[in-house]
Structure 1
């Protein structure tokens, strides 16, 4: 009976990982980010932002309001969020920075280069594999202990 429980848990985890990978692949194919420029109007650190030390100093989660200019001359104002160092966030305020936007909705943009499909998969699959290994280890211990 314990063996069947362990096999079922492993199967559920593998299905979950595969579904997540397929979802990322579809999302990456649907979105073609176009390079442009954004004038940073406002930067707010998110209230739930955990601060940690990263490359370039203290890092936090920020919401950035900016006016985006597309290559064809259109302008849109929108918000982007992401993990940035405090130093970079302060330096961006009032300046024009490189941005990538969704061509269907230029108010949806990002201030970091878009990830390739392989980078996106690695970013989600590795944590799932760690969790799968931990669950597999616990289930193995449960099944082997009398």
Structure 2
């Protein structure tokens, strides 16, 4: 397990870049005890709304509470699964359609623990963290987004 278990800042201003994702993956090539990684990338969809389609989502959060809750979830997942590493990044601010707003990355000696923990982590992040998204629509209207299981 990771020796450094202090709360980490999970927030990224704007979209999560492909370079950040690639660098995170590349940083694990020296950790030769890892046999499996599981990665979830959440991407902003161009959903159809009244008056147009979503062009972006503007994310806001109650940051201190979100970081505290993310740490609690992280500790729960580490105690439940034999993980080597876990990384969570969530966007704040405006993220355009097609861009990445959530990056969850788990690693373990075996794939099942990496996959199962990644799935549980994503579900808990969506359900428990005080993060809100305002959908920005083509017609210059905005709609607060409700988190769903989809």
For the criterion TM > 0.5, the same-fold answer is: no
Per chain length, whose mean CA-contact separation is higher, i.e. which structure has more relative contact order (CA < 8 Å, sep 6+)?
A: 2
Greater Rg over alpha carbons, structure: 1
Q: Which of the five TM-score ranges fits, normalised by the shorter chain?
A: under 0.3
